[in-house]
Structure 1
Amino acid sequence: AQSHSLTLRDAQGETQVVRISSLDSSWSLFRPEKMPVADGERLRVTGKIPGLRVSGGDRLQVASVSEDAMTVVVPGRAEPATLPVADSPFTALKLENGWVETPGHSVSDSATVFASVTQMAMDNATLNGLARSGRDVRLYSSLDETRTAEKLARHPSFTVVSEQIKARAGETLLETAISLQKAGLHTPAQQAIHLALPVLESKNLAFSMVDLLTEAKSFAAEGTGFTELGGEINAQIKRGDLLYVDVAKGYGTG
């Protein structure tokens, strides 16, 4: 820049002097940068792309990437488009990562959304936009957890996960509810064996089935007998969760 002017050079090498005061919002400044992308990546268009009818702000999804080309899925277009990859300021693709967008810009019934929302922005318009953007919304707010939960509870599209966990477990404390839910992932026999294994393994990596049955019985819920425990042990051996080793003849039991 000299004397409040810019000297610009085009792809053919011709130069043009432009007064800075004449630049308006129709001009854009791009910085060359190599950006790693992978299949499935979402990208946002920041400028015109030759051969592709898109405009700034449109979003593309990467279908495949090679050394000299990138194939993208364009909303509203039946077939994917293959774009040449270049590093010249005149031919490089004008794109940026497209994971960050305004609430409600994309509509999905399955996406996971990460949202950072200020206290003032946590209104119905913002929450409605987030609800349209995906099924699972992870909210980061300047409000404390209690006030955030209260605001979300008043909105018909949201159910706070912590409240769901407590309701399903029938507990008021979240930690107790989580413990109960984890325990519920196993049958009573599975849970007893799950608790018994670390005790036995702390003494010796190899142990007999009798030892496992005895230890598991000490953790078993009322009504869970040796028959259920033995059946579960055999099932875990069959699945490969437990490794059964034959004992040499005359040297103890399995």
Structure 2
Amino acid sequence: MVSQFWQRLEAKPLPPTEESISLRVLVQALVVVGIVAVDVAASTFWSLWAVPLSIVGATWSWYRRRQRNIALKFLLALGMLLALGAFLGNVFSQLNDTRLALAQLLVQLQILHSFDLPRRKDLGYSMVIGLILLGVAGTVSQTLAFAPLLLVFLAIALPVLVLDYQSRLGISTAKKSKKLYGFTPNYSPIPLKRLILFIGVIMALGLTIFALMPRFPGYQIQMYPVSAPGEMANRRFD
């Protein structure tokens, strides 16, 4: 029974793989920025182990992208179940604020996921995880230290979107570079001037929306979620 099941798995055709190294590198950069942003905003040190492991996983995935990796997928599924169990334990111990528990789960899932990225769709999952991590960092951050990482994420995300769109259309980066500009190894999906222009326009729109967004009284904290010290419980203030 097991041998027949294994033979069926081996007989299935392999899914089309993503061959763009530029897209893979930039997606990995998005993930790294998201992890570092959470560290900066929450004063954690996850990037010390998460970033190297994620890079190792992405490198492994590149060299094994045309293999089935059935045993690896099974181990990754077990690891994700363990990460889910740890997340549920953290949630019950941090009911007041579960943002960091969610961020930790996403970091762990991304590390496991980075070992199996054969398709463009898998890279898309990594992009979404990086974006969610950046959002979590934005809600936790209370200083301007988060702002430079937001700009870096934006500068990386724009070429990623272009490369992802080219991949969906089946346009090879090398062929496009050779056809339009002659073969140049330093081909960029977005020229530097246009990239700066796009970033400026997006920043201007974002700041305008932020300035025009109404501030309702409900957004303000009326009472801090803390309890009084024990010695203050029986004291009277007249």
Common fold: TM-score over 0.5? no
The answer to which structure has the higher helix fraction is 2
TM-score normalized by structure 1?
A: 0.20
TM-score by length of 2: 0.21
Structure with the largest fraction of strand = 1
Indicate the structure (1 or 2) with the bigger Cα radius of gyration.
1
Higher relative contact order (CA 8 A, sep 6+): 2
